[in-house]
Amino acid sequence: MKVISAAVLSALICTVKEEHRTAFFGEEIHINVPSGNLGEVVFKPRTNGSTEVVLLQAGQVVSPRARLSSPGHLVLEDMLEEDEGVYVIKNTNSPNTAKHLIIIVRGGEVWRNLPNLSQASGRPITLEFRPALTPPNQTEIHHTTEPPPLVLYNQTEVLAEEYVGRLSVSEKKVTLHSVKVTDEGSFTVLDREGKVRRRNCLNVREHQEFLRLTHGENRKIKLYLHHSNANIVYRPKSDHQDRPILEKGVMVTPLDPELEGRLSHPALGVIAFMLLLCLLSCVYRVHMRNEKDKRVILLAQQAGNKEGEAFRQVVHDAYTGSLRNL
């Protein structure tokens, strides 16, 4: 009875964090795991939830399906449909805390070198898009109902507003410019009869980097696009919750307390510097004009009595006119 009570109590106080991710056929997936000999990863396939496949044990890879690219990063190569399921990540130092990484695998050819998406033999064509982003409140991967695909191009024109100016269709190819993370998903090309001619899965992870920095070291992030189009999100390893940092080139306020006073944006510094130069230029012009007016007034005061009154009137008119011009 005591053993049963202890097991029930342990189950009640166990903390489980969930993360959903979409992968494509042939894609390489990186999983964050505890460093050293503390990591443990167990895979539960979607098709058979009762089966458990140990991938990592005591920090050592025990399955040919995985490899360690660097401390803290477990890599799964060439994702297939049978890799879809739940990956349970544990730290042996914290047995009551676990993370469930739920991976959905989509079919289609993976494109890594953008922007060429698809080859189509002749027009007109219809282009449909199904996004890869998983809703944050989706906790089950079984029997999920997907929304209908979004029609981007209907044989004559681009329909989706966010793709106007970025999507172009020629006789032989479809090209997507200025690719965003929200473009990740499945693109389907249909002919004039509505038959599927080709399906491509777009994987927007071209600039994925994993760095290990020393304590107190500075980190520079390359934006790869104009700062006005850049969005940056910080996701700490502690809770995997997104913290926006930059939205369309503008620093988010207020920042997360952990980042307050530690971030700088060169583009914003250039703008502030240009505004400062403009302000200093205006102050200098006002100062020089005031000095000139003082000298003219002094000359007027020193003028002779005979012509002094007329001269002072001219100076007064010029002086008041210069003030109006300011």
- pLDDT per position as a tens digit, 207-247: 566 667 677 777 777 666 666 777 788 777 777 677 887 78
Pick from 103, 64, 66, 62: which is nearest to 82 by CA?
103
- pLDDT per position as a tens digit, 152-169: 988 888 888 888 888 888
Sheet containing strand 231-234, strands side by side: 231-234, 243-247, 250-251
* CATH 2.60.40.10, applies to 109-138+145-202: yes
d(C-alpha 237, C-alpha 228), whole Å: 28
Amino acid 143: pLDDT: 41
CATH topology of domain 13-106: Immunoglobulin-like (2.60.40)
Residues of the chain with pLDDT under 50: 1-12, 112-121, 134-144, 270-271, 273
d(C-alpha 133, C-alpha 16), whole Å: 22
Amino acid 93: pLDDT: 86
Q: Are strands 94-106 and 15-24 parallel, antiparallel or unpaired?
A: parallel
This prediction has a pTM of 0.41
Establish whether the linkage from the previous residue to 124 is cis, with ω within 30° of 0.
yes
d(C-alpha 323, C-alpha 300), whole Å: 18
Amino acid 30: pLDDT: 87
Q: Tell me the domain boundaries of the chain.
A: 13-106, 109-138+145-202, 227-264, 273-325
Instruction: Report the first-to-last Cα separation within the chain, whole angstroms.
Output: 90
- pLDDT per position as a tens digit, 59-68: 899 999 899 8
